[in-house]
Structure 1
Amino acid sequence: MPKGQIMKALSGFYYVKMEDRLIQCRGRGVFRNKNISPLVGDYVHYEFERDQEGTIMEVFDRKNELVRPPIANVDQAILVFSCVEPEFNPGLLDRFLVLIEYHDIEPIICLTKIDLVPKAKLPELESFIEDYRKIGYQVVITSSETAEGLENLLPLLKDKLSVFAGQSGVGKSSLLNALRPDLELKTAGISTHLGRGKHTTRHVELMDVNGGAVADTPGFSSLELMEMEVNDVTFCMPEFQRASEKCKFRGCLHINEPKCAVKTGVEEGTIPAYRYDHYLQFIQEIQDRKPRY
């Protein structure tokens, strides 16, 4: 029974890669009864029914999976955020980072549209970049128009399954087109009425870019921390996790507890105050979440 990886899911069909071609498959009927939903990125066993069509018989265990976007076995997430149009949003970036860290996926921050940044805004942007690099995140600065930074991003994709994720309109598809022009992915600008991007990607699909599998995913502007508990957040913010080892109390939430090393770090400037503010927002959101039964 041949084995392959799902490269695309569309209209109830799954397209499984076998060598240099895609096999159009449907899932077994019993998958619905067993609550099995194949995802792009899944490794599967399948059977041929006729030429280039088949049935997925088994879905192998995943090392991880995301719900939005629906994809499995991700090695790294390229978190694409524009410097302008829409404006760089550290709160949304931190939300992405926390969720990606929670799923044990390596995040890489990719800032786009650097060519559009006014000189007056550069110092503030450079300050954010320095903060995230000090935390330990890799930050790549790019422009799809001028090709700036593409030579730094391309090597990071080789031999990896990468998700390009981020808000609508930040330039994910434009960036992929710049990395591999023959893709000719559809792009669109910012809605002047809504002030945010227009969705151009309608499904999740893996594409070969520099010897790696890359997913251009439907954009979205919000993420809910549905799976997380309050104690998870510290471990998803690297500088908080490092500092918490010196907190007086184990399980410190870094809110009201005395001798909290995280709060000390904020006071001393070793932990950015805006990251702490975002942390408090995430904790409050989780605490306010209605219990699920």
Structure 2
Amino acid sequence: MKFGFSTLGAPQYSLAQCNDLAVTCGLDFLEVRSLGGSLDMPAYFAENPVPAGSLPIHVLGSSLFLTMAGDADVEAFFGFMKLADQLGTPYVRVFGGGDFSEDLDPEKLRHAATVVRRIREKAAAEGWRAEPILEMHDAFSNSERCQRLNSLLDAPLSLLWDSHHTWRIGGESLADTWQAVSPLIRHIHYKDSRATAEGFDYVPPGEGEFPSQDLFSLLKSQGYAGGVSLEWERKWHPELAPLEAALPKFADVLRTAGFSPAS
């Protein structure tokens, strides 16, 4: 198992700053979503070469929502796929879109499947090695809904398991999610939260209600060998403490689970 963090936690940092922080914390990789205050990663990397000796970038995060993507959105996403291929990054994250409180619209599902086929056809034509990976998020915050989309495809989409969202929003136990879709899970997001009257608030790793030790015990027992990112969403929640304050808490959770961050 490899450990890293999403650059959402330090959205104004450069790649070099994020890399230095990850190395200092003994982490293995980066998940890149925001750098230098921008979400436009093709533009960022066009102006900022990757420093020599940088950690691998395991996932590149896009803003593509499959159920509502138009032609311009898909064309922009191709820039992320091309960049991922140049960086040697295996996965480009996509969202399904929508709200979990609403039923999935069959027409929007068919549209999402059409978008996936278009991406795959373009990747094959260009020889891009990266692949889109669907985050279990928003309307797709449980296994059944991800499987419903995959049933419309010739080959299923790989999954990025947002372990918090399937538990907190999707209402699935960690064991049930794993049993349902583990063959498709290529990457995992980890975060913690505490319920409030309005919903929930994110809190430092290990200080909330998320069953952190259950997650890492499950992954260890099942021999999971992919990546786990701390997703500290300071980009969207600027009230959160700096990423530097959350990373030691993440390390504490990992040590309690029997891992060292550099293992």
TM-score range, shorter chain: 0.3 to 0.5
Per residue, is there more strand in 1 or in 2?
1
TM (norm. structure 1) is 0.32
Structure (1 or 2) with the greater helix fraction: 2
Query: Higher relative CO (CA 8 A, sep ≥ 6), structure 1 or 2?
Result: 2
